[in-house]
A and B are shown apart, each in its own frame.
Chain A
């Protein structure tokens, strides 16, 4: 496999196995960050559609969210990986690309509902106060409402981030060489500890996230909404 594995083989089989796990987790992290970067804005677009006063768009958007949230992510991975080839003879560039697409869409749907809840929880009076001060709708949203929404959704978004860290290992179902897949290879050679060692990687990442989210929450605690 990767070059790390070969390089560390010189330090004995266990060093090589650790290297392989690190390499695998690199894929998990790549998937994690790409999903966040894409799903956060796509979620906003879905929210905008779901809250649209144009009924057909709203219904379309909510149906989409229902389908995405109502089917297993694992199934969605298969669909993105296989269906374009079956139907349109278009093949995914790589397994990782397919995983990124499936994850982005899936998480965007969940994020969009969190955003919607956050936006709908802002009292009407905030919009009205902005309006009577002559602010445009966009100004009210970006200058008044958005910060309050961010504060309100930090905790539920944090939950999603944690789930995402661990969900990335589902990419294994379409054979993305993420950490669990790397570890599983060793079980076939009769070495089981790497499988359990993967937990350390997830725990470390979630621990970092917890610290980061606590920091953000503290930063936002200078006011109450």
Chain B
């Protein structure tokens, strides 16, 4: 069964229709790169799936369960959070919490969640210890074992983005989304982040990555979705989309990006 199914998503801001019927589905372990020119609606699509914008029309399913239906009324806070936690999102601008250390950035949400569990009072010490260990482990994986107690303002852009990736992984989302994770970074640091995403790919983490790095998309993604003006105009393997694009627009975009 598809882990994610996006059905006919529309989104308008006022009179401007930005998404005009987006549909695709993805399997567990799949890695999709989303390409497309500026303003084509990539960020808006990610934000709609992650509940940061409310789509005007359409439905979204995770593991066959409906998690979004534009027709649906208000959903309870608890249900909303459960749905939200299917996904992890890495922002272009990191959005780390400045008053917390790298470690605390990872543990904050996990602790708040743990506190609501009925057995928290009884096993408090152990639960908090586990949370801290997991956070330290993830930061270690990102090569930040010596930065656990550093504040975001004491970290370089690349380090901040690594913390934010670890933070998104902390709650074990089913699908991890990236919105241009390297576009706020220097070219050399870009490679460092891309390497980390490649490592996640090797572990078959299900990911959707909006990127302008075509080479990276070709090497890492199982599938490329190419968006233009609010619709998907290509959806296929990197070979299909990059080497044999069906659409004139895609060809124009690729030739511009590759030189």
Contacts and interface: CB of A to CB of B under 8 A. Distances in A.
A148 interface: yes
B152 A134 contact: no
B99 interface: yes
Given A135-B112, A148-B99, A225-B98, A128 B152 contact: no
Interface string B105-138: 0001100110000000000000000000000000
A133 B98 contact: no
B119 to A, nearest CB: 19
Contacts of B171: 133-134
A139 B97 CA distance: 13
Contacts of B95: 123, 125-126, 128-129
A131 B81 CA distance: 8
A136 B97 contact: no
Interface string B65-83: 0000000000001000100
Contacts of A144: 97, 108
Given A132-B89, A223-B153, A148 B98 contact: yes
A35 to B, nearest CB: 29
A115 to B, nearest CB: 17
Contact of A223 (B93, B98, B109): B98
B81 A134 contact: yes
A75 interface: no
B51 interface: yes
Contact of A224 (B50, B51, B52, B153): B153
B41 interface: no
A124 to B, nearest CB: 9
B81 A136 contact: yes
Contact of B51 (A129, A130, A131, A148): A131
B98 A125 contact: no
B77 A125 contact: no
A143 to B, nearest CB: 6
What's the dominant secondary structure at chain A's contact region? helix
Interface string A127-159: 011111111100100011001100100000000
B91 interface: yes
A132 B77 contact: no
Interface in B149-188: 151-153, 167-168, 171
Nearest to B81: A134
Contacts of A123: 95
Contacts of B152: 223
A222 interface: yes
B112 A139 contact: yes
A147 to B, nearest CB: 5
A170 to B, nearest CB: 37
Contacts of A143: 108, 112
Nearest to B106: A133
B84 interface: yes
Interface in A204-225: 222-225
Nearest to B113: A134
Interface of A: 123, 125-126, 128-136, 139, 143-144, 147-148, 151, 222-225
Interface of B: 50-52, 77, 81, 84-85, 87-89, 91, 93, 95-99, 108-109, 112-113, 151-153, 167-168, 171
Nearest 3 Cβ contacts at the A-B interface:
A133-B109, A129-B95, A125-B95
